[in-house]
């Protein structure tokens, strides 16, 4: 047998040892949704100062008053949102971690303000806000202190909207009173809408409007204009004026309905505020007539649960009817096969070419390897999909490719592909460091190596999107778990199918050159696609963690390369290996010490927060404002880790003819960057039945809904869509 034949096991042995650790870290990093900032009672951003505060005037004990709250001090002209944010926005959410038996109630929302933004009307708060929560302490509670932990997330807006959040912790003494914030909590109590026990509110749906009638209102309100704040989202036209009239103690008003309303409730809890008043009154509006048919798509997706357990829905889009399960399986199979043509998959495919060449004369071994590779791909897709579905069921706003939204996962993959590239280039061999028993076990289990190659293929290919994948994956996350996993399994089978067919087709294997010296050169050549993948991953991490994160990762990769050479080079003797190996371990430890905190830092200027050339950062307000002005809008939902997105950006979207058409038609170009986890973008994708990128939307004047373009964007498609749009 030629000396070059053992080259394949040396590559796949490394996969066996590193892929398992890499996947474990991916799962942990993807599921960890904690803040990147130090944990304290205060979180400061350029837009707000948020603080966890408490009020326990008699100490902490059963039966005594205990209040917690998130205090948000807004910078001038910035605002956050009420439980019903109005035409856009997201409400603040609070997730508590309290000792066993201690329970936090729901947010007691203060009376909101109307916040007009162009043609939109939102509901929210400016200046200083306190969101109080009542806490119940059990009689069995013991201890000197009560530790309170809070994960809060909010959307703060002015001309642009910025998703923010933080982790807070507070230690409350049990015996001593905590009353420094008494005035703040008293003011929040006064701002709470008061129940109107004598109010009798009803409504009729007639001619596209909600005809309200409220009797039994306070005498001080009679004759004044009333503002109406429904707690149910997506029902009324929030920006429309509400003409009203009084007859005695009864007020009547007509509220236009939202043409894209998502609900037809029999009851609408609402807050009414009289002109000149800062505190409103709560009443339940009973709808006494049937609702007309909804205009909204049944596939609209829900946003995360609020801190008080209620659920809010974004206004859904009248999107195309979703595909059925059978068609979704076919699309997933076809999309998986086409995934092999995506550039992100090419580095891993080079390992399969080496495998075909090594076993070209052994049909049985070739077929067994193809089956093992298929099993690795399918099981990996199913496992990754199960993790995604489990996290989404827990309230996380995640989509396909979510693992690469974590800088830690990106760093692990960069390290993994660096090791693969160094091994292919001949810098080190695992046979030099593996004990003889492990080397023998590796030789006896080549199928495990093939399966792990499939795992590696999924790890790097999952962020890519191929034609037909978008609709099938968007449907999959709305299906029951078993059906959803079947769609992802079909996707994996489609990806593995070409190699399974090639393994079972002897003519293809016989067409390859026989094993020989050429394999040594080809093996070294294949190191360069691995290093190219590392360059891409380092660039992705730069979008997430900034220049400091890139420098730390490069230092880690340098230390890793030195360690691989020192411990695995067959040219070093035992003494040299021991000396260099010790230095390498110390260098690797120092690099890890540097890289760990660096990966937790936000980039100085994120893609989403800054404009780039003709492109502006996406927000739903900008889309709505442009539509109201009759201006076309093109939205690019993208991510740095999405190779398909970057390919489209540098080809079709950078094409001079496309850019000229955009300019001639005054198209507003918006970019929604999903490189880091962003609940607002995730929710917007869900409105169109998608849960991954790329997605391209073209809004045109007079159209009822935007046009969704292909994932693999072409110049002709974009120009044709623009030409067909009304001017």
* CATH for 158: 2.60.40
CB atoms within 10 A of CB 198: 11
Q: Is 531 contained in some domain?
A: yes
Q: 26 in a domain, yes or no?
A: no
My answer on whether 236 and 285 are in the same domain is: yes
What pLDDT score does 39 carry?
53
User: Number of folded domains in the chain?
Assistant: 4
Q: Which residues have CB under 8 Å from 660's CB, separation 6+?
A: none
Q: What range does the domain containing 695 cover? A: 616-724
Six token digits for residue 29: 């990093």
Residue 605 lies in a domain: no
Q: What is the pLDDT of residue 445?
A: 61
CA-CA distances (angstroms) from residue 604 to 35, 322, 543, 546, 610?
16, 40, 9, 6, 10
Cα 26 from Cα 413, distance rounded (Å): 9
Q: Is residue 46 part of a domain?
A: yes
**Are residues 383 and 531 located together in one domain of the fold?**
yes
Looking at the structure, do residues 173 and 204 belong to the same domain, yes or no?
Answer: no
Is 301 among the domain residues? no
Check whether residue 166 and residue 65 sit in a common domain.
yes
286-345 per-position pLDDT tens digit? 888 887 765 433 333 333 333 333 333 333 443 444 445 677 678 777 777 766 666 556
Shared domain for 528 and 380, answered yes or no, is: yes
- Are residue 185 and residue 199 in the same domain, yes or no? no
Specify whether 80 is located in the same domain as 178. yes
**H/E run at residue 582:** helix 574-598
Of the residues 191, 213, 234, the one at which a domain ends: 191
What phi and psi, each to the nearest 5 degrees, are found at residue 129?
A: -130, 140
Check whether residue 549 and residue 573 sit in a common domain.
yes
Say which residues have a Cβ less than 8 Å from residue 21's Cβ, sequence separation at least 6. Answer: 412
User: Is residue 332 in some structural domain?
Assistant: yes
Q: Say yes or no: 199 and 186 in one domain.
A: no
Residues 456 and 484 in one domain: yes
Instruction: Identify which of 635, 613, 631 has the alpha carbon closest to the alpha carbon of residue 680.
Output: 635
Domain CATH for 693: 3.40.30.10
**pLDDT score of 670:** 93
Residue 25 lies in a domain: no
Mean pLDDT in consecutive groups of 10 residues from the start of the chain, 727 residues: 37 39 38 43 89 86 84 91 83 89 89 81 90 88 86 83 85 81 87 85 83 86 85 79 82 80 76 82 81 48 34 38 63 73 60 56 70 83 72 50 64 79 75 50 61 70 53 57 78 78 67 59 76 80 74 85 80 76 82 70 42 75 84 88 75 90 92 78 77 85 83 89 81
Same domain, 239 and 157: no
Last residue of a domain, one of 598, 633, 651: 598
Domain stops at, among 598, 627, 647: 598
What predicted TM-score, i.e. pTM, was given to this entire model?
Answer: 0.42
Among 693, 632, 685, which residue's Cα sits nearest to residue 661? 632
What does the pLDDT look like over 637-670, one tens digit per residue? 987 767 677 778 888 998 999 999 999 999 999 9
- Rounded to an integer, what distance in angstroms lies between the CA atom of residue 364 and that of residue 445? 15
30 in any annotated domain: no
Residue-level pLDDT at 3: 37
Query: Starting at the edge strand that comes first in sequence, how are the strands of the sheet with 633-638 ordered?
Result: 616-617, 668-673, 633-638, 695-699, 707-708
| In a shared domain, residues 696 and 623 | yes
pLDDT at 540: 76
């Amino acid at each position: 047998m030629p000396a070059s034949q053992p080259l394949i096991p040396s590559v796949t042995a490394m996969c066996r040892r590193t892929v398992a650790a890499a996947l474990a870290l991916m799962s942990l990093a993807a599921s960890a949704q904690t803040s990147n900032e130090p944990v304290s009672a205060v979180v400061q951003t350029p837009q707000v100062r948020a603080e966890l505060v408490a009020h326990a005037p008699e100490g902490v004990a059963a039966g005594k008053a205990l209040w917690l709250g998130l205090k948000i001090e807004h910078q001038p002209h910035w605002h956050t949102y009420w439980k019903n944010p109005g035409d856009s926005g997201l409400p603040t959410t609070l997730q508590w971690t309290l000792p066993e038996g201690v329970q936090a109630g729901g947010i007691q929302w203060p009376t909101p303000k109307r916040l007009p933004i162009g043609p939109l009307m939102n509901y929210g708060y400016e200046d200083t806000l306190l969101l109080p929560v009542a806490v119940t302490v059990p009689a069995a509670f013991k201890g000197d202190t009560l530790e309170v932990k809070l994960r809060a997330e909010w959307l703060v807006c002015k001309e642009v909207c910025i998703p923010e959040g933080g982790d807070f912790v507070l230690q409350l003494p049990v015996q001593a009173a905590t009353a420094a914030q008494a005035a703040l909590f008293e003011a929040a109590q006064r701002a709470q809408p008061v129940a109107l026990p004598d109010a009798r509110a009803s409504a009729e749906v007639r001619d596209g409007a909600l005809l309200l009638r409220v009797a039994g209102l306070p005498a001080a309100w009679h004759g004044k204009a009333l503002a109406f704040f429904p707690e149910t989202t997506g029902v009324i036209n929030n920006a429309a004026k509400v003409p009203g009239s009084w007859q005695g103690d009864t007020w009547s008003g007509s509220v236009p309905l939202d043409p894209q309303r998502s609900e037809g409730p029999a009851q609408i809890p609402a807050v009414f505020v009289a002109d000149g008043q800062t505190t409103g009154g709560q009443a339940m509006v009973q709808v006494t007539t049937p609702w007309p048919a909804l205009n909204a798509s049944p596939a609209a997706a829900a946003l995360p649960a609020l801190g008080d357990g209620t659920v809010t829905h974004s206004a859904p889009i009248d999107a195309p009817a979703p595909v059925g399960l059978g068609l979704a399986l076919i699309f997933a199979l076809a999309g998986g096969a086409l995934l092999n043509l995506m550039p992100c998959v090419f580095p891993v495919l080079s390992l399969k070419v080496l495998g075909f060449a090594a076993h070209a004369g052994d049909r049985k071994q070739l077929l067994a390897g193809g089956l093992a590779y298929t099993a690795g791909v399918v099981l990996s897709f199913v496992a990754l999909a199960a993790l995604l579905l489990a996290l989404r069921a827990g309230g996380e706003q995640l989509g396909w490719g979510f693992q690469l939204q974590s800088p830690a996962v990106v760093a692990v993959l960069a390290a993994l592909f660096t090791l693969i590239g160094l091994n292919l280039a001949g810098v080190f061999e695992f046979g030099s460091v593996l004990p003889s028993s492990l080397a023998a076990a590796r030789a006896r289990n080549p199928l495990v190596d093939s399966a792990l190659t499939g795992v590696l293929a999924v790890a790097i290919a999952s962020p890519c999107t191929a034609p037909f994948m978008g609709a099938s994956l968007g449907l999959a996350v709305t299906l029951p778990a078993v059906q959803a996993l079947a769609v992802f399994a079909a996707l994996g089978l489609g990806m593995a199918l070409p190699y399974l067919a090639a393994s079972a087709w002897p003519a293809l294997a016989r067409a390859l050159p026989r094993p020989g010296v050429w394999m040594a050169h080809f093996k070294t050549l294949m190191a360069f696609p691995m290093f190219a993948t590392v360059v891409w991953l380092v660039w992705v991490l730069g979008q997430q963690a900034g220049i400091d994160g890139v420098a730390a990762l490069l230092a880690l990769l340098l230390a890793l390369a030195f360690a691989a050479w020192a411990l695995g080079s067959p040219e070093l003797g035992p003494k040299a290996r021991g000396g260099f190996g010790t230095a390498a371990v110390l260098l690797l430890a120092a690099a890890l010490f540097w890289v760990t905190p660096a990966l937790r830092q936000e980039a100085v200027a994120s893609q989403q927060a800054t404009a780039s050339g003709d492109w502006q950062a996406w927000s739903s307000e900008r889309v709505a404002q442009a539509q109201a002005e009759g201006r076309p809008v093109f939205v690019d939902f993208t991510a740095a880790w999405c190779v398909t997105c970057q390919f489209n950006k540098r080809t079709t979207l950078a094409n001079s003819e496309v850019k000229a058409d955009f300019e001639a038609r005054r198209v507003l170009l918006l970019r929604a960057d999903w490189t880091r986890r962003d609940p607002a973008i995730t929710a917007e994708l869900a409105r169109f039945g998608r849960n991954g990128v790329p997605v391209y939307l073209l809004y045109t004047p007079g159209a009822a809904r935007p046009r969704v373009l292909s994932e693999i964007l072409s110049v002709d498609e974009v120009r044709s869509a623009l030409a067909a749009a009304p001017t």
